[in-house]
Amino acid sequence: AVVSTQSTGKQINLSKLQGMLSKVYLLLYNCCLACGWSIVLYQAVLELSTAQNPTYVYERCKVALKISQTLALLEILHAAIGLVRSSPMTTFIQVQSRLVVLWLVLDPVSEVHGYSNVPMMIIAWCIAEIVRYWYYALSLVDKVPYLLTWCRYSFFTFLYPIGVSGELLTIYSILPIITATGLFSLSLPNKWNVSFNYPIFLMLYMAGYVPYLPKLYMHMLKQRSKMLGKAAADGEKKAN
C-alpha cells in the first residue's frame, strides 16, 4: 500500500511537471508569435506610410511574415497531441489556407505584389493574429482583460471578410500570369507520365472556400456570444 501511494504521488508530480512545462512552452510560443506578427504589421504600415505604394509592402515584411505564418504549423501538432483543446482537422484547414496563399501564390508571383489587396490582406492577418496570440498567452495565466476578449471575438467580424477577400483576390490575380508562364504546371509527355494544371487546381481551391467559410463564420458568431457573455459575467463576479 505504501509503495502504491508513493507511485501514485510520483505520477501526480510528473503530471504536474508536464502540465507546467506545457504551459511555459505555450506561453513562450504565443508571446513569440504575437511579437512576430507585430513586427510584420510595423513593417507593412511603415512601408505604406513612407512609400505610399503597396508594391514593396510584401518585400519589406516577407521574412517576418514567412516565419510567423509558417510557425503556425506547430498549432496543428499542438492540437494533434492534445496540448491544446482544438480540432486538428479544423486547425489544419485554417493554417493551410494561408500557407498556400503565402508560399504557392504570393511569394512566387512578384507581379501581384503591387496589387492593393495584398497589403490589405497582410494587415488583416496581422491584426487578427496579434489579438489572437496575446489572448491565448494571457489566457494561460488567467489575466485576460475584457477589452482583449472583446477584440478577440469582435474583430473577426470585419477582419475575416477582409482577409478572405484578399486571399481570393490574390489567387484570382495570378491566374492569367501562371496560365501564360506555366508555373508549377506539368504537361505530358514527361518521365513521370503525370500532368498537373496549376491554374485549374487554384480555381478548384478557390471553390473550396465556398462551403467552409460561412460555416466557420457562423461558428465564430456563436462563440462570440458565448465568450463575451462569460467574460462579462466573470467581470461582475470579480467586481463584487
Q: Annotated catalytic sites, by residue?
A: 160, 167
* Residue (of 27, 122, 109) closest to 69 by Cα position: 122
Task: State yes or no: cis peptide before 189, omega within 30 of 0.
Answer: yes
What are the grid coordinates assigned to 201, written together?
487546381
CA atoms within 13 A on the CB side of 212: 14
Q: DSSP letter string over the chain?
A: -HHHHHHHHHHHHHHHHHHHHHHHHHHHHHHHHHHHHHHHHHHHHHHHHHH--GGGHHHHHHHHHHHHHHTTHHHHHHHHTTSSSS-HHHHHHHHHHHHIIIIIIITT-GGGTTSTHHHHHHHHHHHHHHHHHHHHHHHHTT---HHHHHHHTTTHHHHHHHHHHHHHHHHHHHHHHHHHH-TT-B-SS-TT---B-HHHHHHHHHHTHHHHHHHHHHHHHHHHHHHHHHHHHHHHHHH-
